[in-house]
Amino acid sequence: MAETRGHLKRKLGLPTWIAVVCVLAALHALPWVFPNILHIMIMIFLFSLMGQGWNVLGGYAGQFSFGHSLFFGVGAYVSSLLFVRLGLTPWIGIFASCGAGILLGLFIGFLSFRYGLKGPFFALIMLAFAEIFHMTATGWSAVGGALGVLIPLKGNAPGLMQFLRKEPFYFLTLWMMVGSLYLVWRLESTRLGLYFLATREDHDAAEALGVNTFRAQMTAMAISAGLTSIGGTLYAQYLLYIDPDSTFGTVNSVEIMLRPIIGGPGTILGPLLGSVVLTPLSEITRLAFQSYSGVYLMIYGLILVAVIMFLPDGLIGFAKRVVGKFQKGAA
């Protein structure tokens, strides 16, 4: 453990911290330099946050999920309904939605991991639960039914997480994303993080060495569900409208999953890099093919197939291989 922490401290030396501070300073100045791209940046930060949630479970713990829209939708609906029905501020609702997501994740995790379900079986269980919640939300009038939930606009009300301008939401999502990066960075230097990696690489060997793989998987599930649910709350408060298709829909599971897969699963910066690449492409394809239902899903499918075939370890893995070959050639 001490060796792991020492390795990270050596890796993140003074030049790295200076670079981090410079990047954060540039991001804080961006709203006044390029105000027209705030929406894209907010969506980049949001999907990076939720992609980091998927990354903890799928990238580090090795449990691929095809149904993370489940936690996204739960986070969006719990906080929105608490606000609309009970008047509870989303600043409190975000904790309630996070807690609801964690409890649901632990329930599904117990059903799956206790009985040794993993790989494609776990992926299908997640997809099934997401679809069950999708159909339930569509047919249940108490939660808005197919029409969804319209969150009333209260004007410029920071206490209700509502702002007339995009800048406050930009900074809110930015720091939520930074918080998720810091969480995973710290996680990597803990014994738990090593247990995640051991479980991912060889489940049986990890158990033989004394790793409680069930506890590791359940912890990864809780962290993953919590981060994704927080993203759902922020999404709902940003757009002020949610419905079953835009929350529990399969497309959200694909979008959340693709960010870390493209950027580099099991890496700290993978979800952010994938979000920087994919989010502008997503917005462009939605606008370009809005008259053709499902076309952008076909594009996502092609991207996923191409990444699995040619970039199995994502853009970060590809960059590491290129740098490694260059260093060997120089030597």
- Of 250, 270, 294, which marks where a domain is finished? 250
Residue 228 lies in a domain: yes
Quote the mean pLDDT of the chain.
89
Structurally, how many domains does the chain consist of? 2
C-alpha distance from residue 164 to each of 3, 92, 116, 304 (Å):
49, 20, 49, 37
Higher pLDDT, 64 or 2: 64
What per-residue confidence (pLDDT) applies to 11?
60
Q: Are 60 and 207 found together in one domain?
A: yes
Least confident of 167-181, 247-261, 272-286, 314-328: 314-328
Give the count of alpha carbons within 13 A of 115, CB side only. Answer: 9
Query: What is the pLDDT confidence band of residue 293, given thresholds at 50, 70 and 90?
Result: low
- Write down the pLDDT at residue 3: 41
Query: Is the domain of 92 the same as that of 5?
Result: no
pLDDT band (50, 70, 90) for residue 5: very low
Identify the domain containing residue 1 by its residue range.
Answer: 1-33
**Distance separating alpha carbons of residues 212 and 300, to the nearest angstrom:** 36
Q: How far apart are CA 85 and CA 77, in angstroms?
A: 11
Instruction: Answer yes or no: is pLDDT of 275 > 90.
Output: yes
As a whole number of angstroms, the distance between CA 118 and CA 125 comes to: 9
* pLDDT 10s digits, 145-199: 999 999 998 888 999 999 988 999 999 999 999 999 999 999 988 999 999 999 9
User: Do 98 and 228 have their domain in common?
Assistant: yes
The rounded percent of the chain whose pLDDT value lies above 70 is 93
How high is the pLDDT of residue 85? 93
How far, in Å, are 150, 156, 213, 320 from residue 193 at the CA level? 40, 41, 12, 22
Entry pTM = 0.91
Note whether 4 and 194 are within 8 A (CB). yes
Report d(CA 86, CA 129) in Å as an integer: 27
Residue 29, in any domain of the structure: yes
**Token pair belonging to 308:** 């699995």
What gap in Å lies between CA 226 and CA 213, rounded to an integer? 20
Of 263, 310, 214, the C-alpha closest to 47 is 263
Kind of pairing between the strands at 241-242 and 149-150: antiparallel
Instruction: Report the pLDDT averaged over residues 63-75.
Output: 94
In a domain, 331, yes or no: no
Assess whether 127 and 168 both reside in one domain.
yes
Given a cut of 60, is residue 119 above it in pLDDT? yes
Q: Where are the beta strands (DSSP E) in the chain?
A: 149-150, 241-242
Residue appearing with tokens 């159909």: 135
- Checking if the pLDDT of 6 tops 80, the result is no
12 vs 232: which has the higher pLDDT: 232
- The interaxial angle of helices 167-188 and 38-54, nearest 10 deg, is 30
Residues contacting 2, CB < 8 A, separation 6+:
none
* Co-location of 8 and 42 in the same domain: no
- 77 and 17, same domain (yes or no): no
What DSSP line would sit under 165-214, residue for residue? SSHHHHHHHHHHHHHHHHHHHHHHTSHHHHHHHHHHH-HHHHHHTT--HH
- pLDDT recorded at residue 291: 67
Residue 331 pLDDT: 62
What value does the mean pLDDT take over residues 92-115? Answer: 95
Q: How confident is the model at residue 9, as a pLDDT? A: 46
For the segment 289-296, the average pLDDT, to the nearest whole number, is: 68
CB neighbours of 289 closer than 8 A, spacing ≥ 6? 295, 296
| Position 327 in a domain | no
Residue 94's region, left for phi above 0, alpha for psi from -120 to 50, else beta, is alpha
Beta-bridged to residue 241, according to DSSP, are 150
Cβ atoms 212, 198 nearer than 8 A: no
* Same-domain status, 28 and 169: no
Name the pLDDT band for 321 (thresholds 50, 70, 90): confident
Q: Higher confidence at residue 303 or residue 51?
A: 51
Residue matched to tokens 């009985």 = 115
In residues, how long is the chain? 331
Mean pLDDT confidence for 265-286: 88
pLDDT at position 1, please?
40
Closest Cα to residue 81, out of 175, 149, 9?
A: 149
Out of 67-71, 99-103, 147-151, 292-296, which region has the weakest mean confidence (pLDDT)?
A: 292-296
How confident is the model over 193-245, as pLDDT tens digits? 999 999 999 888 998 989 999 999 999 999 999 999 999 999 999 999 999 99
Q: Are residues 146 and 47 in the same domain?
A: yes
Q: Element (H or E) spanning 25, and its range?
A: helix 14-33
Query: Does 2 score more than 60 pLDDT?
Result: no
Question: What mean pLDDT is predicted for residues 242-252?
Answer: 92
